[in-house]
Structure formats: C-alpha cells, structure tokens
Structure 1
C-alpha cells in the first residue's frame, strides 16, 4: 500500500518512516523513530529528489511507482550520499533505466565507492549556480560542503520557491501522518529532537551552516523540504533563527544545566543541594542530569540550549569519572563554545577531577570557567553551606 503525500500540486512526498530503529547512525537513541524524506517533482521531466535508507526500501519503491503512475523517471538528484539517503540509488537506476543521475563531482565519486554501477552515459554533473530545467520547474543548485558531508548540495526550485535542503533543517522523529510543521505542535513535541539532531549531527560544522544560511538568505524561500522531519511551510523564520543561534554556538536561553556524575550518590546530593540553592535564589527552569543515565546526545543538546553549565564530578582512578570524561570528549568534538561553566568535584582521598575538567574546558573555544570551584571530600557537609551559597551566587552573578 502506497503512503504518499502531496507537498504541492506537482511535488509529492515519497519517503518513508522507520519506527523500528533504536539508534540513528547506530549511535543516537531515537525513541520516536525517524523519517527518510524523498520528493518527486512531476513535470515534463519527472525528477526524484534523493532516496531513502535500506530499511525503508520496500515502501519507498512502492511510493515512487505510485506517484509516477506509469510515467518514466527522467532524473534522480542526489544531494547527500549518506546511506540513509543514498541506499536505493542503484535500485532506482535498475527500475528506471532511462533516468539520469544529477550530482556534483564528489557525489559521483562517492556513488562509485558505494555501488558497482556504470554512470558513464547517465550522469549530469553540476556545480554551484548550475540549473536544471524540468519544464515549468527549474532547480538551482547550491553547494553546501560539510553540512555535514563534503559532497552535500541543496536545490532551490524557483517557481514554487521551495528549498530542498538535504540534511539541513532536519530532525529526529517519524512523521505520524502529519507532513507539515503547522500540522503539529512543533515547539512542544519536536523542538527537543530538532535541537538534538542538529547539535549532534551537524553541530561541529557551525561555520559551514552559517555559510549556507547566508546563501539561503538571498533566496525567496516559502517552503523547506528536508530529508528528515516535517516540511516547513509556515513560520520559517522561527526554525531558521534556531539554526542561526545553534550554528553560532549562542545559547537559546539564559538558563542553568547541572550535569553530574555520581558513584554512590554523594556527588548527586551535592548537585541537588546546588539546584535547591539556585532555585531559592530565583533561577527558573533548572535542568539536572545524571551523566551515567542520560545519553550523551541529550546532554550535548542541553548544553547548546543553556547559557550556564555546572559540571559536578567525582575523582575516579585519579582522573575524571568516565561518563563525565565522555561528555567532555563529545563537547570538544562538537565544538561547544561560548558557555559559562562552574566546576564541582569530589574525592575521598584526592579530589583531582576538578583540575582536569578545567584543563579540558580551557582547550575549548571561548569557555568561561568561573573562578570559584567547589571541592568536597566524600560528602557535602553542613559547615560548607556558606561555600555552597557563594558557589551558587557566582553562577547567578555571571547570568
């Protein structure tokens, strides 16, 4: 049974959803699944925009056949060669032998790496600024290298003012019958997954995203068709502004997230005591996370959201407790910057984690580490309340 949706009168969503997969890229938990979006432009030259993951091949092939309704396929535009979008290239070329592949030079190279397919007479190589006439529709190709692979490009269709944005403006989450952003409560049900998607998948490449946003600003975009998540047809500025902040590494909110590692609960107790202090001093919407239980992708997303971060960590084997060490490694890899951090450590005989955490933070860009550290020996004692109060106050003062 086909599962297609009209994006416009001439553009059809032919993608698929996967609610069985547990880990995106075998790494990031996706309890709500994910959509693999592909689009068919019906015109004098029928054009398929990307394919889908191997897990959704059956549904995708059926959708494409239904949307074509017996007509030929003229072009397959490949914007991104990651396997969750390119897995069906060879199958489409086998099913539609008259179809030509449209992509840039790096795309063609990667197709040869993934598939044993002869493209000699079937490829159309495009570069920045090239166009492809389909009839009443015209595609304009814009290169977007490292958003988030080197071959990525996006395509602007000028008659309907649609940006086919590859992985840009995507989000985790399967589409539950509602294709468009204004069919769902995005702020309530989708923004956390969108933030987690961007910060963990694309977050390292903020400079490249900024370059793409500058190119997009010169286009009259009325709709954004990403390869994951809802199609944006209203309130585009809301989502574009989120990406602008994320890619500039600017916090969305003046807020505090406390992330702790705790072996036997003593560091957790100290983190809770700090949260209570901050709350009593008027700080709202404090977030507290156990690094041993919370997936690192969620913590990274929160660090992108908030302006101020507290890291509380016990010393472990003379070093940093592994879940916190893992978080710091991800922060560094994903270019986290422009945050204010307070550090708390714990050690029964040698509280050395704090110094090592500060050293790692100082290796990141534009990270402000607050002067006063809080070091506890085994447990936070009542006679340390003034120290805790001062520790909390410096966070507030920095806000």
Structure 2
C-alpha cells in the first residue's frame, strides 16, 4: 500500500516480506526487503524508480490508484539493476512516449536488460529538471555500486533519493528509521555495506564529499531498499564515512571447515589462545559450510584479523573455504591481517594454498600458518593456542 512521505512525495514501492536471497543466491536477506519507488507530484509528475519484475503488475495497479498514468511526465531510472528497473517494461508499454532520465551508462544497461529503445534522456551531475515549484538535481554516482548509478535530490522537500547507497534489506511495516528496531537496522546496514559496497569505499567517500560540497539541505534520505532515513539522516552518512575508512573493530574472526573435526579443534584452540592473550578481543568462529556466508563476510569486515582453516583434500582445501576465499578476494578488504591453518594426513597442501589466496586477496599475511598431522594431540593443540596467543598479543586496541 502506498503512503505519503510529504505532501508532494508518495511511496509507491513494494515490501517483500518473503525474500530470503538476493543477487540470485549470493546475498542472504533474513529480514526480507523493500523495493522503494517514489512519485513526486508538482506541476509536473516524476516517478523515481520502479520495483523488481515479479511485482510489476502489483506496482502498476498501486501506481494507478495514486495517479492517472497519463499524468506521469518523467520517469527517473537511478539504476538499471533488475530490482530497481524490473517494472519499467510493463510501465513503458502503457506510457511509451514518457522520457526516461538516466546516465549514459544507464541507457546502455537498460537497453542490455530489456532491448527497448525508450525515450532516453541522458543526464549529468548538476543537471536540473523542473517540476514546477520543485526541481530534481541529478548526481552521477558511478560504481555505487554499478557504472550507471546516480542519485537525485528534490529541492523544496530536501530529499535525497540515494538509490542503493544508505540502503539495506529490511522489510517493515513502519517505513522510517525511527519506527524500526535500531539494532536490526544497523545490523542490516553494516551487512549491506560489507557485502556490496566494500570494494567501492573510495568512491563512497568521494561521492559523500561531493554531495556535501553542493551545500544542499537534507531532511530525508530515501534509498531504494529498506527504511527511509528521516530521524537524523546524517547518521547513516557519517557511518558510511567511517565504514569507508578501512574499518575495523577490536575483533578477530576464525573461518574454517572440517572433515573429521581435527581442523575444528585447531580453530577452537587458536581462539582460546587469542582470548588468553587479550581478553578484550572479540573472537568469533564460523564453520564456512554451515554458517551464512554473508554474515561471515560482515564479521570479516568488522575484524582486524582473519584466520582461515581447512584440512587438505585432493591436494587442496574444502569447497566451502574455496567459495569463501573467492568472496573475500572480490571484496578487496584493506588493513587486515591474516593467516591459515589446517589438519592433514599425508600431502598437506591446504595451508600453503590458502596462504597464497589470502595474500592475493590483499590481506597482510603475517606468517606461513600452522598445520597439524591427522587428529591433533595435546601438544599440537597447545601449539595452536600459542599460535593464537601470538595474534592476540599483536593486536592493539
């Protein structure tokens, strides 16, 4: 159901309570999500974004209940990814001549998705579109998180339609940040940043500074997913600046997989050693084959050190660790230490190979790792505790 944000702006999006995975199966959405679309009505009417394709029919019917489609003068496509643009084909079939405002890369991407030559109007940063008493100001935001991404700002209402930036996957009946559980909200925000925006932290910082340089007042941030920031919207902007600065907390994360529990026992012994050396250090363990991969990535983002463990199998490491290492390689974490560990029976290549992967992924690999043959005995576990103590002593608050 739609609702008024201001006298001129109406939310016409879709809450997706059932969504549990996003980007195919790549991103877990434990709390669902929303696809936020906004209708701006002045002398002219502009629609900012649509919804994901499976909800296009619902979206069109809801939109018709708010405005006669023939009265829509402009469609704003801030981003061409399907969760934003999926309602466009059905909408444009009904209003084919209405101009679609997007970046040059947006034209390429939308044509690539839908193979339609709509009435595209290419915009650049600083360009304005008059709606009457209000204007939309366009702000290109490439690689936040696609090349085509842009924001737009509504004068008179002081609203930034920020697309994926400052968003999160959280379905809620109360669509404002002051109406949801603040702990759940921030948990979803940091997960979103860690898993999606980490590789683009430099661009995040530059774009925030660029927007600040425009000197535009800000009353609300309306992202494309999750809740609307109306209570102190600058809090999430400041948080993004913190996260963009090679973020870390006083935490270590140990990620492992195990076959016959030898590597698990090593992981637990290493964790004991870390805690012995520094009781203030938060140490978290995750079995990569059983825990949610995006939740693990969030904890890596928050940590100073990552330890990765796997036994050797077929002269390599277990597949869950292979997938995990590929995730961290792509995210390009900065300012984090790492090492590898694992049990083995005869050839024992896993630690060497994982060490090479961690080095390639940009971690500061501090040593060659630690191995234990077969099922680690008391002496081997004590060596693991000493290994952990070395890390704990090397991490300062």
Q: TM-score, normalised by structure 1?
A: 0.91
1:215 paired with 2:210, answer: yes
1:331 paired with 2:318, answer: no
**How big is the shift at 1:70?**
7.5
User: Which secondary structure state, in structure 1, belongs to the residue aligned with residue 221 of structure 2?
Assistant: strand
Do 1:74 and 1:98's aligned partners in 2 also have CA atoms closer than 8 Å? no
Give the whole-Å Cα distance in 1 for the aligned partners of 2:104 and 2:368.
53
**Segments of 4+ in structure 1 off by > 4 A?**
none
Give the whole-Å Cα distance in 2 for the aligned partners of 1:102 and 1:185.
35
Please name the residue that 1:16 is paired with: 14
Residue 25 of structure 1 is aligned with which of 16, 23, 26?
23
Give the whole-Å Cα distance in 1 for the aligned partners of 2:281 and 2:245.
25
- C-alpha deviations, 1:35-72, integer Å up to 9, x for none? 10000111111110011101222331122222226771
**How big is the shift at 1:270?**
1.8
Please name the residue that 1:352 is paired with: 349
Do 1:18 and 1:56's aligned partners in 2 also have CA atoms closer than 8 Å? no
Do 1:314 and 1:320's aligned partners in 2 also have CA atoms closer than 8 Å? yes
User: Which secondary structure state, in structure 1, belongs to the residue aligned with residue 355 of structure 2?
Assistant: helix
Please name the residue that 1:196 is paired with: 191
After the TM superposition, which residues 111-150 of structure 1 pair with which residues of structure 2 at under 5 Å, given as runs?
A: 111-119=110-118, 122-150=119-147
Give the whole-Å Cα distance in 2 for the aligned partners of 1:371 and 1:86.
47
Residue 267 of structure 2 is aligned with which of 265, 271, 277?
271
Q: Structure 1 pair 383/98, CA: closer, same or farther in 2 (3 Å)?
A: closer
Give the whole-Å Cα distance in 2 for the aligned partners of 1:96 and 1:289.
51
Q: Name stretches of at least 5 consecutive residues in structure 1 with no aligned partner.
A: none
User: Which secondary structure state, in structure 1, belongs to the residue aligned with residue 250 of structure 2?
Assistant: strand
**How big is the shift at 1:280?**
4.1
RMSD: 2.1
Structure 1 stretch displaced more, 72-81 or 51-60: 51-60
Please name the residue that 1:185 is paired with: 181
Do 2:70 and 2:95's aligned partners in 1 also have CA atoms closer than 8 Å? no
Give the whole-Å Cα distance in 2 for the aligned partners of 1:192 and 1:164.
22
- C-alpha deviations, 1:115-144, integer Å up to 9, x for none? 35443xx44321121001111211111111
**How big is the shift at 1:385?**
5.0
1:322 paired with 2:319, answer: yes
Residue 389 of structure 2 is aligned with which of 384, 388, 393?
393
Give the whole-Å Cα distance in 2 for the aligned partners of 1:283 and 1:352.
34
Structure 1 stretch displaced more, 73-82 or 356-365: 356-365
Give the whole-Å Cα distance in 2 for the aligned partners of 1:235 and 1:113.
38
Give the whole-Å Cα distance in 1 for the aligned partners of 2:335 and 2:75.
41
Please name the residue that 1:83 is paired with: 82
Please name the residue that 2:167 is paired with: 170
Give the whole-Å Cα distance in 1 for the aligned partners of 2:276 and 2:393.
15
**How big is the shift at 1:372?**
6.7
Q: Name stretches of at least 5 consecutive residues in structure 2 with no aligned partner.
A: none
Give the whole-Å Cα distance in 2 for the aligned partners of 1:173 and 1:378.
45
Q: TM-score, normalised by structure 2?
A: 0.92
**How big is the shift at 1:199?**
2.5
1:247 paired with 2:244, answer: yes
Structure 1 stretch displaced more, 254-263 or 354-363: 354-363
- C-alpha deviations, 1:226-273, integer Å up to 9, x for none? 11011111233432233223333322x111111111111121122122
Q: Structure 1 pair 11/65, CA: closer, same or farther in 2 (3 Å)?
A: same
- Number of paired residues? 391
